Amino acid sequence: MSIVFFIKSASVDLSKYTIKDLPGSSGRLDVTVRCILAALLNNVGFEKDIQIWVFLDKYGAYIFNSELLDYGTFPKNELSLADCFADLIRGKNLDNNSLKAVKTLQISIFDALHQFQGLGYKIFVLKEKCKDFFRYTKESHMEKDILFVIGSQSGEFIESKELRSLNFPSLSLGSQSYLGSSVIRLIKMSLLNLI
């Protein structure tokens, strides 16, 4: 089973970026970085067969693939990952950047969703009020390759007419609101225990 997470941010803006004020100067790049760490890392290294695609409205798409990254040099905390990712986005210090294996694409999230659909991935949109994820995974065989679309706190993208028109099934982690990084950890814990 391969697991892919799609996250999208309209707010990341590095025009005033400083590591001294990561949340305030980056348009909440810190939230994105926490999601990347949650997706890729486990207690001893990288998860196997996990990708996280980060779609930044102002900068393009970035593909973090656990199979292509070097765990020895990968930044394992929020601040160092944010700094390396900011350099990658801005095209600075690329030769020495430990994220040089991260692929950069100019592709819309919708085109990428269509590509994964064509590859046979089962695609789910995560929302707060819909079918229960945990019940669904117990009742269904989750042996296929799976892609999860995770929204932001504003919910604009998840509730967009364009995404709804694709008719992907929606799942919920319950009535409680979770941060994106917590959503990713809960999904990983649940699915990796099924394997």
User: What are the residue boundaries of the structural domains of the chain, listed by start?
Assistant: 10-47+64-104, 109-194
Q: Give the burial class of 117: count Cβ atoms within 10 A of its Cβ; 0-12 exposed, 13-18 middle, 19 or more buried.
A: middle
Predicted local distance difference test score (pLDDT) of residue 66: 93
CA distance 79 to 149: 25
Predicted local distance difference test score (pLDDT) of residue 74: 97
Predicted local distance difference test score (pLDDT) of residue 152: 67
Q: What percent of the chain has pLDDT over 90?
A: 65
CA distance 27 to 16: 9
pLDDT higher than threshold 60 for residue 56: yes
Structure token digits, residue 126:
């995560």
**pLDDT single digits (tens) 59-95:** 999 999 999 999 999 999 999 999 999 999 999 888 8
**pLDDT single digits (tens) 6-20:** 999 999 999 999 999
Cα 123 to Cα 45, 90, 142, 169, distances in angstroms:
26, 31, 11, 7
How much is the pTM?
0.91
CA distance 140 to 124: 13
pLDDT higher than threshold 60 for residue 154: no
Q: Nearest Cα to 57, choosing from 78, 28, 83?
A: 28
Cα 101 to Cα 81, 98, 176, distances in angstroms:
14, 8, 36
SS percent in the chain: helix, strand, coil, step 5: 35, 25, 45
